[in-house]
A and B are shown apart, each in its own frame.
Chain A
Amino acid sequence: MNTPDTQRKPMISIRGLSKTYGGKGGGGVLALNNISIDVAAGEFLVILGPSGAGKSTLLRCINRLVDPSEGQVFHDGTEITAHRGDLRAIRRQFGMVFQQFNLVKRLSVLTNVLTGRLGYRSVWRSLAYSFPEADKRIAIECLARVNMDHKAFQRADTLSGGEQQRVAIARALAQQPMVILADEPVASLDPKIARQVLGYLREAAQELGITVLCNLHQVDYAREFSERVVGMSRGAVVFEGPSSALTDDILHRIYYREPGEVEKDEA
């Protein structure tokens, strides 16, 4: 089911990805079951599914915070899963936005965004907690994009939830990544703020040509913010197509599927 965009080389290509946690030899938890997805460059793809569907694990396999048990992940043609050794160069290509924002509370907003540049800076310079001027400029520009530059010097824990997430988005943008992985970025925010945050994310990504993979469990947001949706349930992909095609039937498959129904759905 490829849309015309992915006829060109996809930005991210996932093939046969599986992940089992613990208990080798049949006792473990199957978090990802043979996932294959293509993501086009510049696309805002929503991965929709209930909690426990494996969405977080999927995202973390892409930037190798988690190592998959089987399968391959290709980024712009290069295979990521085969890379041994230092992962810094890979990880800085992927900006990540977390559900809990994960800012360092005691540091200022600006410093938090600057930490997005750490992947590009030598370790020894960082010891002095100083960043080059160019980095500071990048950081402030990113803050301006999410309209948080006026709070640059405030401590991160003085901000509201929505504001913190915007700063987290700025941090991801500061990496100048090709892809942003957003793991349930608005789960802890109320609807009006959530829409604002998703709006900033989509707008910044569109302006900068960044590909976004966004995990969500709210169907409304999926419909509003993306054109293509991948539905996941219990570690498997159960739907892939335009968000307009999210019928009740398909939603039921995503949200209410019983374990025994796996085989029936492999259509």
Chain B
Amino acid sequence: MSALTFEAAVASTLAAESQRRGKRLARTLIWAAAAIAVLWFSGAQIGMNPLALVKGVPFMADFFSRMFPPDLAHLSLLGDATLETVQIAVWGTLIAILLSIPFALLGAKNTTPHPIVFHATRMFLNALRAINELVFALIFVSAVGLGPFAGVLAIALHATGMLAKFCAEEIEGVDRGPIEAMQATGAGRLQVILFGIVPQVIPAFISYSIYRFDVSIRAATILGLVGAGGLGFSLIKTMKLFKYHETATCILVIFVIVLVSDWVCARIRARII
């Protein structure tokens, strides 16, 4: 390249760069303005008020002081509730795992028997996912009575929705090659699913199930708020009785359970993967 054309090339690229930068800046500014507008509007609607937060500090401090120190004697009473929380999470997740397998197969484009079944399943799963465990619990407490049974069902249904949708997406994303090979050997539909799809999907499914168990423990700790068993009940009871020291103990126990469950789940995931 002669010196002249080299200079020309460099100059034209510089000009192009400044043009692109200008356009990008304009675009960023527009998006930023839109975002700020949305945030301002919604913030006003819900009364976002940093000042109020600052003013609320003394209230928070008061709250803390009433809870501190936690009444450790109360721990002995919480033993049963703690166990119940774990039991709810265990069976809620287990039922979800069992139910999500058929629903995942029905809700995946490559394994569903019919488009209508596919769409109906997807809609049903969306409904299960959209509704919070607490809401389910509230309804089920009316239907089957107070206590942990309602809690198990609530967790099971919501977790089924989440697990099944996740699994369905995994099934849709499998490597097609082995599937074709399986079809070529003359295997039937079910056999292709069992030997071609399931082995590819299992690691992610197990990993997500364990994650779901972790989430279920968290949910199970507060189900008691609506009378569906677990630690939440002690929590709300002590608060309503103004026994904040005992409330603090409850919160402490919840904190510890979640931490332990977290750690256990992480270890199991590491072992399996």
Contact = CB atoms under 8 A, between A and B. Distances in A.
Q: Do chains A and B touch in the complex (CB under 8 A)?
A: yes
Interface of A: 63, 65, 87-96, 98, 100-107, 111, 115-121, 123, 126-127, 129, 168, 171-172, 175
A98 B180 contact: yes
B177 A100 contact: yes
Contacts of B142: none
A174 to B, nearest CB: 8
A65 B179 CA distance: 11
27 contacts: A65-B180, A88-B186, A88-B188, A92-B186, A93-B186, A94-B184, A96-B181, A96-B184, A98-B177, A102-B181, A103-B178, A104-B178, A104-B195, A104-B200, A105-B178, A105-B199, A105-B200, A107-B195, A116-B185, A118-B191, A119-B185, A119-B186, A123-B190, A126-B190, A126-B195, A172-B185, A175-B185
Contact of B186 (A89, A100, A106, A111): A89
Nearest to B176: A102
A90 B187 CA distance: 11
B78 interface: no
Contacts, number: 86
Most buried by B among A96, A100, A115: A115
Interface in B258-273: none
Most buried by A among B182, B186, B191: B186
Contacts of A118: 182, 185-188, 191, 195
Interface in B187-201: 187-188, 190-191, 194-196, 199-200
B178 A95 contact: no
B203 interface: yes
Nearest to B194: A126
A185 to B, nearest CB: 12
B139 interface: no
Nearest to A120: B186
B183 interface: yes
| Those 8 A-B pairs whose CB atoms lie nearest each other, nearest first | A119-B186, A92-B186, A102-B181, A91-B186, A118-B187, A96-B184, A102-B177, A88-B186
A101 B178 CA distance: 8
Contacts of A100: 177
A123 B190 CA distance: 7
Contacts of A94: 184
B184 A91 contact: yes
Nearest to A104: B178
A157 to B, nearest CB: 11
A171 B195 contact: no
B29 interface: no
B160 to A, nearest CB: 22
A65 B180 CA distance: 8
Given A91-B185, A115-B187, 7 more contacts: A65-B180, A88-B188, A107-B195, A111-B195, A121-B191, A126-B191, A127-B190
